Structure 1
C-alpha cells in the first residue's frame, strides 16, 4: 500500500461521564459537533488519507465498476402492476442515475401486463415522476412517499435531497401535471388517502427523530391548516399510517420493539376519531389487515412465533383463531384479497408463502425448487384479484417476478432480471456457480446456519479467499439474495458466505430473543463460530477471510474485531453502530429511547450498563494486532451518526497504532450511502477492490 500520506491524528479532548459510579473518559466526543470546522477538516483529512492509501486500486475499482455496469441492463422496465384502470411501473434509462415512475392505461381485453423487451417506454405512457429531474442541482435524492390516490388523480410524493431522511411532501395533479401549492416540510415515511381522495394522512417526527404524529391534510389547503389526528406521548413508541388494500380503512400503527396498538379510521369518514382495535398490552404485538366484515389479526399473544386470528370490523372484540401457533414456523405478515388470504412466513431458515382461500380452513404452501432461496410478495395493489405476484431469488438465481393463480395454482414467470455478458463477453449461467448450506457450532452448542455461494469448482483446500457477511439484530433476516456486483468476487475465486446469527429472525422469534438485551453477545460469538467453521471446513483460511457488515452489523464488525482479531484478514464496517453505549445513554439522540427494548436501558439499569460496556466496540479497543479495517460512513446519516466510526477509528489509531485503519465519509449522503445507482455501483466497487486487495487478489 502507498504510505506517502500522513496518518490523520484526532486531537484528544478528554470529557468525563459518570454512570452508576463508573467514570469514563471520552477523548473524541468533540467529533460529534457536526458544524465545527475542525470536525469537517478532520473528516476531510481522513477522506484524503483513504484516497491516497487506496490510489493503487484505482484501475481495479474502474474494472469492477465496468463489470457491474456491463452486466446490468441499464435501460430497463419493471413488470407493470395493475391498479384500477392503469398499469404502474418504473423505468431506468442508460446514463441516468434515478428511476422514472410511469403508468399506462389498461386496454380493452388486456389481462396480462404489457412487456417492453428492451426497456423502452410503453406506447401511451404517462410519466408521473422523473427522479432525474427531481435530483437536478442536488448530489443526493431519496424518494420517501409515492402514493397514487384511489381515483388515480393525485400523486402524493416526498423527497429528501440531503440524506437526513427529512422529507418534503408534495401533491401532483396527474390530470394536468401541476404540482399543487400543498407543500409540507419535515415529514416521515407513510401516507394514506381518504376514499374520495380529498384528504391525505401523513407522519412527522419529534426532536429525537421518532415518528410520533399522524396529521390530516385537506387537498388544496395550506399545511398550516392541517390537523393532528393522533399523537403518541410514550417515547418508546413510534407511529405509522397506511390505507388497507381494500381501501376501506386508514390504519394508524403504534409500535414499540415489543408492544403494539392499532387504530382505524373509515376511509369514507376521514374526519372521524381513530378507534382502537385492541388496547396495547406490554409484550403483545399485533398487526391488522382488513378483509370483508372482519379485521385479520396477526399476533404473538401466547404464540411466540405468531398466530392468525380475526375479529369483527364493526365492533372489534375477541380474537377468533384461524391459523394456530406452530413453534418454529414464524408467521410474519398477512395480506388480504377478496377471495384469498396470503401469509408470509419462515420455517427452517427459509421464507415461504401460505394461501388460505376465503371461507376455508384448508391452507396450502407454495413450493419452490431450490434448497436455498428467498421469496416475498411484490406489488399487489388490487384487492379483487385471483393472482398473486411475488419475487423469488437465490444466491445463484437472479431476482424473478412470478404471477401465481390462486385458484389453479399455475405459476407464470413474468420476468427474470437479466444479467448481461460482462466485459469478457461471457454469458451468465447459474450452473457456473453453486450454493451451499453449512452449520457452525456456537460456544453454547447452538447450531448456526451459514449460506454460501462460490464459482463451481472452487477448491476446498483452504486456499480460497472468502467474505463473510452478518447483521444479527432487530429480528432482521439476511435471506439469500442475488448480486451482480458479487459476481466479480466469485469469478476471482472468492467464496461469499452469510452467517445467519442470533439476533436476526431466520429461525423464528426465539432466534431473535437469544441475540438481544442481556443475550446480545450470542450475536458476536455466533459470528466468530461461523468464521472458525469456514476455516475448519476448508472453505478458506483466517488470513484469507474478510468480514463485512453495516449499521447494527457494523456493531457486529467492531465487536468481533475486539473478540477475535486473529480470525480475519480484514473487516469492512459500513455506517457502523460502534459507539453504542454512549448513544444509548443519550436520550436526546435520534432513536435512543425506542432502542431501549432492543439493547436495554443503561441509564436506568446498572446491569445493562455493565453488559453493554463489556461489548461495545469503542469502549473495548485494546492494544492488540487488529486486522485491517475499512469504515465507511455518511455525514448526514440520522440512524447511525457519522461520529461513531470517526471516534472508533481515532481510538484504534491511538491505542493500537500498528494497525491499518481507513475511514471514508460520504459528505452528502445518508444511512444507505450514495443515492444514484451509478454512484452506488462505484461505492461497491471501492469496497470490493479493498476486499480483493486484502485477499491478495488485486
Structure 2
C-alpha cells in the first residue's frame, strides 16, 4: 500500500495585531530548496501511484476530448489596416500559426509566426501582445517560456523575417507603436512582485530606453495601448476601485503625456476616442452599474462630461464598441448578455434578438472603424460557438463560423439547459445555469459537478464546452453557480461578495448545493464541486464550512492562505488586491480574513475526497499555498478519503501551454471524478 507523503513540521510564528499564528509549513516558500522540490515530487508520485489504475482511462478520455476538436482549424479572418489576419492550427501540432493576406483573402499568405517552431525545446511557451507597426512592415510581440507571465519583447521585420537587435525583458508582453513606425511604448514589471508599474519608450536601434511613467502607488498597475481611432497612445493606471488615464497624440511620440482625469478614489472610468470626442464609461455620480458620458478632446475636465446613456439600476453597461456611424453597447440585464446598437445620428436604436433561457453573447474582434459590419459571438450550454457578422444598417446576419464538434455523436437536441434559483438565508435569489442529457431523471442519484468563481466581478457565463461532453455523456449534470462576487446580476452583485461581504460568495455556493440536493438533481453522495484560483479559495471555504455536502472537490491553483499572502507585499499582485479582499494590516480586515481563510481554518474532522492542482511557476497563486494546505489537511483530517496534490513542475497559473497538453490535465481531473463514481470507461 502506498503511503501519503508526510511533510515535516517546522513551527514558524506569525504575529500581527497581538495575534499569533503558528505555521508549521512556512518553510515550503523557498522554491529553490531541494526539500521543497522533493516534497512536491513525492506528492506527484503519490498521486500517480494512487491513480495508476485510471491511467488507461485517462488516455482514452484524452483521445476522446481531442477527437471532438478540429485539429486543422483556423480563425475567422479580421481586417486591420489593409491586411486580413488569420490564426490557424495544423493537425498534430500544439501551437498556433499566425498569418496575414494583403487586401483580399485571395492573395498569397504571409507568415508572421509559427509558434510550433518557436516552441521547440521549451517545456512551456506562450506568445502574446502581437502589435503591427502602422506601415505594416514590423511586428512587436512578447514571449514567455516559464508560465510566470513575464514576457520578453522582440521586434521582427515581417518581410525578411529577421529579428531586430532590440529586445526587452521583464515586460507584460504587449506594446504599442507610435505613428512614426520607429517608436514603441511598453510596460515593465517589477522583478520581485511582477507588478506592471513602468511605461518605457523605445526607439528602434537605440540601446537606452526612456522611462516615460512610473506608478508610485503599489495598489495600482499600468498598461499602455493605442486608441481604436489610432490618434492616441494611452497609458491606463488601474486598481480595483480607481482609474486614471494619460494620453499622447500618436503623431508626436516625443511629446508629453497629459492626464485625462486625475484619479479620485472610487472613481472608475475608461475612455474611447471618436470624432473629436472622448466617450467615457464610468461610475461617476454613484452610477453603480455605470453610465456612458462624453467630452470634447480639449475639454476633459470632469465637470465637462455629459451623459450619453444614463445610469440604470437594473442594467449593467459592460463595454462599448465605437464605429464611424454606430455605437455598440454591451449590457447585462437579469444576468443575460444584451447587445445594443445605436446610430450616432439617432435614426436607429435597437437590441440584437436572443431567445435562449441562458446563453453567452459578446462582441468579437471589431478593429475596423469605418464599417457597418459588427462581429459578435454566440453560444450556450447546449449550443456550440458561432462567430456572426451582422450588418447594422440592414439588420442581416451571416454566420461566418460554427464550432465543429467532431466524432458524429453530438446532437444538440440530446441536451437540456435551464436556469434555476436558490434562496440564500438573507432572502437573496442565487441563479444557476444547468446542463444535462435529456434522459437524466431527477431522482437524487445523478453525479453533479457544481462550478463557480465568484471574485473580482468576473462573471462565468453559460458557455459551450466540447470537453464537458465527456461528463454529460456519462450521466453527470453540470452547474454554474452565479454566486455573489461576480457581476452576473450587476455591479452590486460584485460588491455584495467582496471585502467584508466575502463570505456571501461561500454561503451562496453552499445554498446552491443544498437546493440541488433538495430538488433531487443529486445527493451528497454524488455531489462534486470545482473552482480555480479565487474559485479555489471558494473550494477551501466550503469544505471547511460544509464538507458533508460533497463527495469530491477539485481545487485548481487555489488561493487558500489568505491572511499570510495578503500580509506579504513582496508576493506578486498582493498590494493590488487590497480593494478586493481588504488590507489585513487593518485589524478589522485581518480578523475577517482569518475567519474564512481555508488554511487557517483546517480542523480535525472529515473532509471530502480532494484533488488539488498547482504550478511551480505560478505568478498568481504561489505553489506553496496549495502545498501547505495539503500538508496541513493530511496532518489533521480524520477521514480516509483521497487527498492528492498534483504540481505541474513546468507551468504557471494557466497550466500546460500546448493546445492539447491541457487536455491531459482535464482528463486526469475527470478520471478523479469518474473513479469516485465507479465509472471506468
- TM category, shorter: over 0.9
Give the counterpart of 1:164 among 148, 158, 166: 148
1:142 aligns with 2:126: yes
Mean Cα displacement is larger for which, 192-201 or 491-500?
192-201
Distance in 1 between residues matched to 2:490 and 2:432, nearest whole Å:
16
Distance in 1 between residues matched to 2:324 and 2:173, nearest whole Å:
27
Give the counterpart of 1:193 among 174, 177, 197: 177
Distance in 2 between residues matched to 1:9 and 1:56, nearest whole Å:
23
Contact residue 244 and residue 251 of structure 1 kept, 8 A: yes
Matches within 5 A, 1:562-581: 562-581=544-563
Per-residue displacement from partner, 1:627-685 (whole Å, max 9, x unpaired)? 00100000000100000000000000001153421000000001000000111111111
1:556 aligns with 2:538: yes
1:132 corresponds in structure 2 to: 116
Per-residue displacement from partner, 1:295-330 (whole Å, max 9, x unpaired)? 000000120000000011133131110000001211
Q: What root-mean-square deviation, in Å, do the aligned CA atoms of Structure 1 and Structure 2 show?
A: 1.2
Distance in 1 between residues matched to 2:475 and 2:484, nearest whole Å:
29
Give the counterpart of 1:312 among 287, 296, 307: 296
Mean Cα displacement is larger for which, 327-336 or 638-647?
327-336
1:70 aligns with 2:70: no
Give the counterpart of 1:372 among 358, 381, 386: 358
Contact residue 5 and residue 39 of structure 2 kept, 8 A: yes
1:30 aligns with 2:14: no
1:540 corresponds in structure 2 to: 522
Distance in 2 between residues matched to 1:363 and 1:156, nearest whole Å:
39
Contact residue 225 and residue 234 of structure 2 kept, 8 A: yes
Distance in 2 between residues matched to 1:392 and 1:526, nearest whole Å:
28
Per-residue displacement from partner, 1:477-520 (whole Å, max 9, x unpaired)? 00011111110110011000000000001011100000000010
1:47 corresponds in structure 2 to: 44
Contact residue 322 and residue 361 of structure 1 kept, 8 A: no
1:216 aligns with 2:197: no
Per-residue displacement from partner, 1:346-380 (whole Å, max 9, x unpaired)? 11111121112123286322111322111112111
Shift of residue 686, structure 1, vs aligned partner = 0.7
1:394 aligns with 2:386: no
Contact residue 226 and residue 232 of structure 2 kept, 8 A: yes
Contact residue 102 and residue 126 of structure 1 kept, 8 A: yes
Instruction: Give the TM-score taking structure 2 as reference length.
Output: 0.98
2:58 corresponds in structure 1 to: 61
Shift of residue 161, structure 1, vs aligned partner = 0.5
Give the counterpart of 2:314 among 328, 335, 342: 328
Per-residue displacement from partner, 1:199-252 (whole Å, max 9, x unpaired)? 111101123211111111112222xx1111111101111111111111111111
Distance of aligned partners of 1:463 and 1:95 in 2 relative to their CA distance in 1, 3 Å threshold:
same
Matches within 5 A, 1:482-521: 482-521=464-503
1:601 aligns with 2:598: no
Per-residue displacement from partner, 1:587-621 (whole Å, max 9, x unpaired)? 11111111011000111x11111110010100000
SS at match of 1:434: strand
SS at match of 2:240: coil
Shift of residue 123, structure 1, vs aligned partner = 6.4
Distance in 2 between residues matched to 1:369 and 1:60, nearest whole Å:
39
Contact residue 569 and residue 695 of structure 1 kept, 8 A: no
Distance of aligned partners of 1:516 and 1:86 in 2 relative to their CA distance in 1, 3 Å threshold:
same
1:617 aligns with 2:598: yes
Distance in 1 between residues matched to 2:347 and 2:18, nearest whole Å:
59
Shift of residue 190, structure 1, vs aligned partner = 3.0
SS at match of 2:318: strand
Distance in 2 between residues matched to 1:396 and 1:520, nearest whole Å:
32
Give the counterpart of 2:646 among 664, 669, 675: 664
Shift of residue 586, structure 1, vs aligned partner = 0.8
1:301 aligns with 2:298: no
Per-residue displacement from partner, 1:515-549 (whole Å, max 9, x unpaired)? 00001000000000011111111111111011000
Contact residue 447 and residue 476 of structure 2 kept, 8 A: yes
Contact residue 160 and residue 167 of structure 1 kept, 8 A: yes
SS at match of 2:384: coil
Contact residue 150 and residue 173 of structure 2 kept, 8 A: no
Distance in 2 between residues matched to 1:376 and 1:196, nearest whole Å:
34
Distance in 2 between residues matched to 1:361 and 1:319, nearest whole Å:
24
Mean Cα displacement is larger for which, 352-361 or 518-527?
352-361
Per-residue displacement from partner, 1:69-128 (whole Å, max 9, x unpaired)? 111110111110011221101010111110001111223xxxxxx5xxxxxxx8611110
2:324 corresponds in structure 1 to: 338
Any gaps of 5 or more consecutive residues in structure 1?
A: 108-113, 115-121
1:19 corresponds in structure 2 to: 16
1:111 corresponds in structure 2 to: none
Per-residue displacement from partner, 1:386-435 (whole Å, max 9, x unpaired)? 111111111111111001111112111000011111xxxx4321111110
Instruction: Give the TM-score taking structure 1 as reference length.
Output: 0.95
Contact residue 14 and residue 27 of structure 1 kept, 8 A: yes
Give the counterpart of 2:252 among 263, 269, 279: 269
Mean Cα displacement is larger for which, 412-421 or 198-207?
198-207
2:270 corresponds in structure 1 to: 287
Shift of residue 272, structure 1, vs aligned partner = 1.3
Shift of residue 142, structure 1, vs aligned partner = 1.2
Distance in 1 between residues matched to 2:348 and 2:541, nearest whole Å:
47
SS at match of 2:525: helix
Distance in 1 between residues matched to 2:333 and 2:474, nearest whole Å:
34
Distance in 2 between residues matched to 1:264 and 1:123, nearest whole Å:
37
Distance in 1 between residues matched to 2:272 and 2:182, nearest whole Å:
23
Distance in 1 between residues matched to 2:591 and 2:449, nearest whole Å:
32
1:181 corresponds in structure 2 to: 165
Any gaps of 5 or more consecutive residues in structure 2?
A: none
Distance in 1 between residues matched to 2:204 and 2:93, nearest whole Å:
32
Shift of residue 6, structure 1, vs aligned partner = 1.9
Give the counterpart of 1:637 among 572, 596, 618: 618
Distance in 2 between residues matched to 1:97 and 1:284, nearest whole Å:
43
Mean Cα displacement is larger for which, 466-475 or 409-418?
409-418
Contact residue 78 and residue 91 of structure 1 kept, 8 A: yes
SS at match of 2:480: strand
SS at match of 1:506: coil
Distance of aligned partners of 1:496 and 1:143 in 2 relative to their CA distance in 1, 3 Å threshold:
same
Q: Which runs of 4+ in 1 moved over 4 A?
A: none
Shift of residue 444, structure 1, vs aligned partner = 1.1
1:457 corresponds in structure 2 to: 439
2:226 corresponds in structure 1 to: 243
Contact residue 142 and residue 174 of structure 2 kept, 8 A: no
1:96 corresponds in structure 2 to: 93
